Structure 1
Amino acid sequence: MSDNPIREAIAEAIRDNPTILFMKGTPDAPACGFSARTVAALQTLDAPFAAVDILPDPRIRQELSAISNWPTIPQLFVGGELVGGCDIVLEMLDSGELAEALGVEQPDDVEDGAAAAPAPAQPAPLGIENRLS
């Protein structure tokens, strides 16, 4: 058993979920604009993803940043690798790289800043229980 259960739970969530977003709030109720825009980018691509709210326990953010070596939230992981935060995700959405990384088709109507506004209703993201506290 790990002497750092929160870090181990985060690492396990990253390993076990093909696409996982660590964010402030939930996909249905983001608690910051950066998290909202990142969720909208994923929803624009109709990409399934798991999400973890980092707000309930400050240790989650601390351990996540130690694992990823990335200081800001949100953080998107695909295939166990850090993709980046909001700005990188939006750039990748605009260029088509995000769709490619996620293995989904890029919609024809994705334009600059398409994820800046909330996306229309999409299927709900995969849910995982936040057992990190």
Structure 2
Amino acid sequence: MSDTSNPIRDAITDAIGEHEVILFMKGTPEQPRCGFSARTVAALDSLGASFAAVDILPDPRIREELSAISNWPTIPQLFVKGQLVGGCDIVTEMYESGELAQVLGVEQPAPIQIENRL
């Protein structure tokens, strides 16, 4: 009889189920370790969204299992209500269109107007 338990996969699946919004990223929201993760965190922060985050860097098996679960090869990966939303490019596009705020159930902030007085 083979042992089919996979504690890392189980922990990832549990985390996705337990958190309405969860970001798997390189580093932490306070200290992102790549530009893509930093941009994704910035989009979520600018919407005032609360989210859980998992640093995939301490154990390469996290990334491997996450990609097997999500069928998405790159990091970061944002999940909302158990569903993969996407990576940095998709999150950025959704942020710019206002769709990310809708998915997260938050208000889209008004764009900042910068006056050029040169």
Work out whether the TM-score is over 0.5: yes
Residue 43 of structure 1 aligns to a residue whose secondary structure is helix
Aligned partner (choices 14, 17, 30) of residue 15 of structure 1: 17
> Would you say the 8 A contact 1:2–1:8 is kept in 2?
no
Q: Distance in 1 between matches of 2:104 and 2:29?
A: 18
Of all paired residues, the percent bearing the same amino acid is 73
One-letter amino acid matched to 1:13: A
> Where do 5+ consecutive residues of structure 1 fail to align?
112-133
Hey, which bits of structure 1, 4+ residues long, moved more than 2 A? none
Counterpart residue identity of residue 42, structure 1:
L
Aligned partner of 1:59 among 55, 58, 61: 61
Contiguous gaps of at least 5 residues in structure 2: 114-118
Corresponding position of 1:92? 94
Considering fraction of residues, name the structure with more helix.
2
Query: Residues 1-133 of structure 1: matches in 2 within 5 Å?
Result: 3-109=5-111
Partner secondary structure for residue 11 of structure 1: helix
Indicate the residue corresponding to 1:131 in structure 2: none
Alignment root-mean-square deviation, CA: 1.5
The one-letter code sitting in structure 1 at the alignment partner of 2:7 is P
Q: Which has the higher contact order (CA 8 A, sep 6+)?
A: 1
Question: Matches of 1:45 and 1:3 in 2, distance apart?
Answer: 38
Aligned residues: 111
User: CA separation in 2, counterparts of 1:110 and 1:68?
Assistant: 35
Contact 1:19 1:50 in 2 (8 A): yes
Distance of 1:26 and 1:80 partners within structure 2: 20
Which amino acid in structure 1 is aligned with residue 47 of structure 2? L
Q: TM-score when scaled to structure 2?
A: 0.91
TM-score using structure 1 length: 0.81
Amino acid in structure 2 at the alignment position of 1:84:
G
Larger radius of gyration: 2
